[in-house]
Amino acid sequence: MSSTSPAPTRTRPATIRRFTGVQRLLHLILTITFLGMLWTGLCLWSPALAEVMNRPLAKQWHFYSAIALGVAFVLILVLRPRDVRAFASAVDQLDRADRAWLRGGPRRLFSHVGAPEQGWLNAGQKLNTAITIGLLIVLTGTGLLLWIGERNTAFRFAGTVDVHDLATILIVLLVSGHLYLAIFNPSTRASLSGMTNGSVDREWARANHRRWVEECEAQEPDDRS
C-alpha cells in the first residue's frame, strides 16, 4: 500500500480492486454448493460411493445444495438488481477487442503476447460465465424433472438423466479449466487474489485488462486528493 503524503504524486496502490464483497460471497456460495452437489452427485452415480453416502441422504443434500444456490441467486436478483444487470451486460456484450481476443483462441490463456486491450472481463471469461450459468440452469431444469418424474410419471423422460450427466461433465471440465487457470497457469494465476481478497496486482491487471484499469484509474480519487 502506498501511504505517501497527499502531495501531488501520482503513486497508486500496488493492487486494484477486482471483485466486490458481494460478488466474492456469491462466488463462495457457488463454490460450496457446487462441491456439495458434485460430491453427493458422485455418490448417487457410483456404486463404489453408494455405500459411503447412501442414496436417501445423498439425494437430500444434493437437493439442499441446489436449493441453497437457487436462494442465493434469487436473493441477489431481488436485492441487487442493478448490479446483476450491470454484470449480465458485461458478460453479454463482446466488443471488437473481445472478438480479436477470441480469434487468438486458447493460446491467449497461456501468453498475453499481442493480446488486444481488454476490459474488466476478457472474452474467455465472458463465455465461461455465460456457459457455466447456462449449464447450471440446464442442471436445475433436468434435476427438477428427475424430482417431479419420481412423483408424476408424465414428467419422466429417458433423456433427462443423460442431459443431467452431460451437463455435469461439461461443467466439471469448465470448472477444472477455471481452477487450473486461477491456481497454476503462470500468466493467469495472479487473478486468484481477486476472488480471495478482492484485489489483484495492478501491473498484472494493466497487462491483461488494460482498458478496465485505465477506466478505474480515471475515476480513482488519488490524483484529486
Partner 1 sequence: MEPEPPQRPTETPRDRLPLGRAAFLGTIAAGVIGVAALSRLGGMGVGNIVGSIGNVVPGMNSIVPTNGWRIYNVQDPMPTFDPATYTLVVDGEVDNPVRLTWSDVEDTAQVVSISDFHCVTGWSVEQVHWKGITPATLMELVRPRPAALHVNFQSLEEPYFDQLTMEQFKLPEVLLATEMDGLPLKRVHGAPMRLVIPQMYGYKGVKWLSHITFEREPTRGYWETRGYDADAWVGMDVQH
As measured in angstroms, the least distance from the Cβ of 54 to partner 1 is 4
Q: Binding to partner 1 (CB under 8 A): which residues in 152-211?
A: 152-154, 156-163, 165-167, 169, 211
114, 208 in Cβ contact below 8 A?
A: no
Supply the DSSP symbol for 116.
P
The SS3 assignment for 158 reads coil
Q: Which long-range contacts (CB under 8 A, 24 or more apart) does 164-170 make?
A: 164/139, 165/45, 167/135, 167/138, 167/139, 167/142, 168/38, 168/41, 168/139, 170/131, 170/135
Q: Binding to partner 1 (CB under 8 A): which residues in 112-151?
A: 123, 126-127, 129-131, 133-135, 137-138, 141-142, 145-146, 149-151
Q: Binding to partner 1 (CB under 8 A): which residues in 86-115?
A: 88, 91-96, 98-99
Number of residues that bind partner 1 (CB under 8 A): 57
Q: Contact positions toward partner 1, by CB under 8 A?
A: 44-48, 50-51, 54-57, 88, 91-96, 98-99, 123, 126-127, 129-131, 133-135, 137-138, 141-142, 145-146, 149-154, 156-163, 165-167, 169, 211, 214, 218-219
